[in-house]
Chain A
Amino acid sequence: MDLIISLTVNGLATGMLIFLLAAGLTLIFGLMSVLNFAHGGLFIWGAYTGVWSFQMTGSFIVGIIVAIITGLLLGLVTERLIIRPVYGNHIQQILITLGFMLVLQEFIKVVFGPDQKAVFPPEILQGSFLVGDIVLIKYRLFIIAVGLLIFIVSSFILKRTRVGLIVRAGVMNKEMVQSLGINIKLVFMLVFMVGAGLAALSGIMHAVYSGVIYAEMGLEFSILAFIVVVIGGMGSFSGSLFAAILVGLAQAFMAYYVPALSLAVNMLLMTVVLIFRPQGLFGKE
C-alpha cells in the first residue's frame, strides 16, 4: 500500500511536469495550429536561466521568475522571427521550428558550457513528510501543487475571462474575431508567449526534480510532451492533463515493476491510442 502511494505520487509529479510542457504546446497548437518543435528549446532555456539565477541569488522564487521571463521573451522572439514569416504554411513551419530547436539547444552550450550541471532543490523543499508510514517527498508535492495551480488558473482564464473567450473564439473562427474589432495577431503573440513561458516554467521545475541539466534534455523531454499531446488530443487542455498523468503513472509503475518496458510504455500507449482513436482521447474529429 505504501509503495503504491509513493509510486502514485511519483507518477503524478512526473505527469504534472509533462503537463506543464504539454500545456504550452497544446495551447499554441490549439489556437494557432502551429506545432512548435522549438518548444523543447524554450524548456531548456527556462531550465538553465532559472537554475543559474537560483544559484546566484539562492532564491528559488527568483529562479522561477527568471525562467518564466526568459520563456516569455524567447517566445516573443520566436513568434516574430521564426513563426510569423511562415504563418499558414505548415511544411515550412514544421521544418523551421525544428531547426530553431537545435539552434536554441546549441546556444545553451555556448552560454552555459557543454557539460551537465547538478541542481539541488531549495532547502525548504528538500526532504520529505512522513504521514504514517508513507514518505512524501516535498518537492514532488510541490510539483503536483504547481501543476494543479496552472491547470486551474488556465482553465479559469480560458473559460471565464473575456481574454480566454477571445482565445477560444479565435480557435473557432479567426476572421469573425477580427471582424469584432479584436487584433488577433496580438492575441496570437501573447498566447505564444504564454505557451513559451509555460515551457520555461516546466524547465526549471524539471531541472530541480531530476537534479541535473544538460542541453539535450529539451528535445528528449519534449518528445514525452508530444506523446502526451497526441494521446490527449491536440489542442485539448484537459486531454493533456489526463494524458500527462496517465503517462506519468504508467512510467512510475513500469519503472518499478517492469523496468525493461518502462521506456516503451509511452510509445505503446500512443500506438494504441493512434490505432483506435487517432484524434486522441479528448480530441474532436
Chain B
Amino acid sequence: MSSSLLKLDQVEAYIQKFHILQGVSFEVEKGGVTVLLGRNGAGKTTTLRTIMGLNQVGKGTITFNGENIGDLQTHQIANKGIGYVPEDQGVFGDLTVGENMRVAMKKEDEETTRRMEWVLELFPDLKKFWKKPGGALSGGQKQMLAIARAYVNENELLLIDEPSKGLAPIIVDKVTESIEQMKENTTILLVEQNFMMASKIGNQFFIIDDGKTVHKGQMEELKQDKVLMKKYLGIA
C-alpha cells in the first residue's frame, strides 16, 4: 500500500493572526480509514478545513492524487473528489432532507441515483423524514444526512469530523457501522475522539498535538500503547 491518495507536507495555517497549524504532515493511503487523533484544540478540525481550502495554506503543500491542491478554491477541491462532513454537520436547516440532498447532488445520472438509493438504505431515517426541515432533525439524523450528502457524489475521499460527537451510544454504533460499510469503496479520513469508534474502524492513525503531527502508526499498535495514549490523548 504505497499509493498515497492525499499527502500533507509540513502544512502551516493561520486563523487571523494565530499560527494554528505549525507543521502537519501525513499521508492517507488509498482504501481504508485513516484516523486523526489529538486532544481538544490540537488542530484536527483546522487540518480538515485547510485541506478543503476553507483556511488558507500558509506554508507546505497538500497533494491529492499527485496534484497540488493547496492553492485551489474550496469548490474546486471538492470537485476533485473530496467530500466533507464538518464538525457541526453543516446541515441547511431551512431546507428539507430531500432538498439538502438535492443541493449536494452534482449529477442526476444513474450512478448518483444508485449511490443515493444505497445511502438511503443505510439510513432509512432519512427516507422517513424526507420532507422534514434539516433543522428539525435529531443530532444523529443530522449526522447521517451530512454523511449521506458527502457520499452521494462519487468522491474518492471523505473527510469526516467527529461524527460521534454528542450522539447517544446506540446512534454512535449505527454511524460506526455505516462508515465501515462506506470504507469498502471509499477512502476515509476520520477525526475522532471516541477511541472505541476510532479503534474499531481505523486502519492507520496520526496524532496531532499543538498544531503538529507528532506520531503515526497502525491502529492495532496504538491499542497496546498505553503510554502514547495517555500522553497525547489523555486516555488511560
Contacts and interface: CB of A to CB of B under 8 A. Distances in A.
Do A and B touch each other in the complex, judged by CB within 8 A? yes
Contacts of A162: 102-103, 105
B214 interface: no
B149 A180 contact: yes
Q: Is the interface of B mostly helix, strand, loop or mixed?
A: loop
Nearest to A159: B99
B217 interface: no
A173 interface: yes
Nearest to B96: A165
Interface stretch (B61-69, B86-94, B166-174, B225-233): B86-94
B90 A173 contact: yes
Interface in A163-188: 165-166, 168-169, 172-173, 175-184
Given A177-B103, A178-B78, A181-B75, A165 B95 contact: yes
Contacts of A177: 103
A168 B95 contact: yes
Interface residues of A, number: 17
A128 B73 CA distance: 56
B78 A165 contact: no
B131 interface: no
B205 interface: no
Interface residues of B, number: 24
A179 B74 contact: yes
A181 B78 contact: yes
A178 B94 contact: no
Contacts of B90: 173, 175-176, 179
A168 B100 CA distance: 11
Nearest to A167: B103
Q: Is the interface of A mostly helix, strand, loop or mixed?
A: helix
A116 B173 CA distance: 73
A165 B102 CA distance: 8
A180 B52 CA distance: 10
A169 B92 contact: yes
Contact of A176 (B79, B92, B102, B105): B92
B104 interface: yes
Contacts of A179: 52, 54, 74-75, 78, 84, 86, 90
Interface of B: 52-54, 73-75, 78-79, 84, 86, 90, 92-95, 99-100, 102-106, 149, 153
30 contacts: A162-B102, A162-B105, A165-B103, A169-B100, A169-B103, A172-B92, A172-B94, A172-B95, A173-B90, A173-B92, A175-B74, A175-B86, A175-B90, A178-B53, A178-B54, A178-B74, A178-B75, A178-B78, A179-B52, A179-B54, A179-B75, A179-B90, A180-B104, A180-B149, A181-B79, A182-B75, A182-B103, A183-B73, A183-B75, A184-B75
